[in-house]
Amino acid sequence: MFGAQQIANLLSPAKAAEAFDVVTDAARNEFEQPLQALFAAGDRLQSDLINLTLGSPAASVNSDEGAAQPSSRAEQISSAYPFAPHYVKVFGSEMHYVDEGKGEPILLVHGNATWSYVWRNVIPHLTPYGRCIAPDLIGFGLSGKPDIEYSWAEQAEYLEEFIQQLGLKNITLVLNDFGISLAMRYAMRHEHNVKGMAFFEGVFKTFASLEEAYTADFRPLFKQFRSGGKGGEGYQLLVDQNLFIEQLLPRAAGRELTEEELQRYREPFREVRSRIPIWQFARSVPIGGEPGEVWNTMTEAVEWFKETNLPKLLFYGTPGGLVTAEFVEWCRRNLKRLKVVHVGPGVHYLTESNPHLIGRELARWISELREPHEQSV
């Protein structure tokens, strides 16, 4: 993640060396040992991907079904959030959501440490094709912050009830990060109500071990996130020190975020207690049978995901954060009716690095889903 942010800096070559030194020194001084392996990985990734970032491959996209339209990384990425607020009461708390466009619902579900703001540049591409609804998960964004544990299971229940409260039918799901696993649970339980699933950079399978879940460079830090309960090592990093918002999210964006964008992402988590949902998600990756509630549900959901004939669209970037090239191949081997689109250089938050390409490809895919003839399996 950290090295890939510096790859993005290469798009402004005059600033690259200085930016890399400043960011590296600052984070090394603050976090020392936990992050040194990540920066070493970043150094290698920067060297390996310099040609990809500055050369012609970064200006094109490859798809299983032919080449997508070229996309310029200089295309304007807006920091504005011009959407009217909407709220619905779910289990006694207000959940905020964006509601733009008309027609069948396109439900965009964010993941950890973000909120509906992450979809701001994608939604305008989709409004001609349906009603875009982007909720803030409970405890995130502009949604309420009730006194709950914020476990993965609770988040899944809130999302399912949100869909029920709005009466959404024939849903197309667009998912990132933990939004994928939460929506997989819903789709498994209500497959008749889902038309297709588009997803990127998240957890949608179980892992036998930490070694399988993370590469050696990333393993130490994410192991710390799972260490201890409230007040433990992971809690201190993510809740007390706010590491995810101040360090990981900006460096996993794939480009240098503006000050306005950084402030938007910080705003929901100003208070220490407000960061508990971030911590709970970070320790909810299903690894080696733990956490039990996530492992049991996702074990069933993964098998369903492999068998369902629902159309699927996977976006991935290079080098990727969670969805590596190996993970993409797992998807190709195991998932039916899958289309794969490479969006060029990117880490985890691909809607920050190449939102317009993602928006256009989603629009094309959704329009194909809504053609009157039945697609072949």
**What is the distance between the alpha carbons of residues 224 and 183, in angstroms, rounded to a whole number?**
27
327 within 8 A of 53, measured Cβ to Cβ: no
Residue tagged active-site, from 201, 217, 261, 352: 201
User: Which residue, 34, 55, 25, 13, is CA-closest to 318?
Assistant: 55
Structure tokens at 144: 């309420």
Per-residue buried b or exposed e for 169-180, using 16+ beta carbons within 10 Å of the residue's own CB: eebbbbbbbbbb
DSSP string of 238-295, one letter each residue: IIIS-HIIIIIHHHTSSS---HHHHHHHHGGG-SGGGGHHHHHHHT-S-BTTBSHHHH
For this structure, is 348 an active site residue? Answer: yes
For this structure, is 342 an active site residue? Answer: no
Contacts 24+ apart (CB under 8 A), 205-213: 205/298, 205/302, 205/305, 205/330, 206/286, 206/287, 206/295, 206/298, 206/299, 206/302, 207/285, 207/286, 207/287, 207/288, 208/287, 208/288, 209/287, 209/288, 210/287, 210/288, 212/287, 213/285, 213/287
For this structure, is 147 an active site residue? Answer: no
**What is the distance between the alpha carbons of residues 304 and 191, in angstroms, rounded to a whole number?**
10
Residues 6+ apart with CB under 8 A from 267: none
**What is the distance between the alpha carbons of residues 64 and 340, in angstroms, rounded to a whole number?**
5
E-only strand ranges, the chain: 86-90, 93-100, 105-109, 131-135, 171-176, 194-200, 312-319, 338-346
Burial zone of 304 (CB within 10 Å; 0-12 exposed, 13-18 middle, 19+ buried): middle
30 within 8 A of 37, measured Cβ to Cβ: no
Residue tagged active-site, from 100, 136, 177, 352: 177
Strand pairing of 93-100 and 86-90?
antiparallel
Residue tagged active-site, from 342, 348, 352, 356: 348
Active site residues: 177, 201, 348
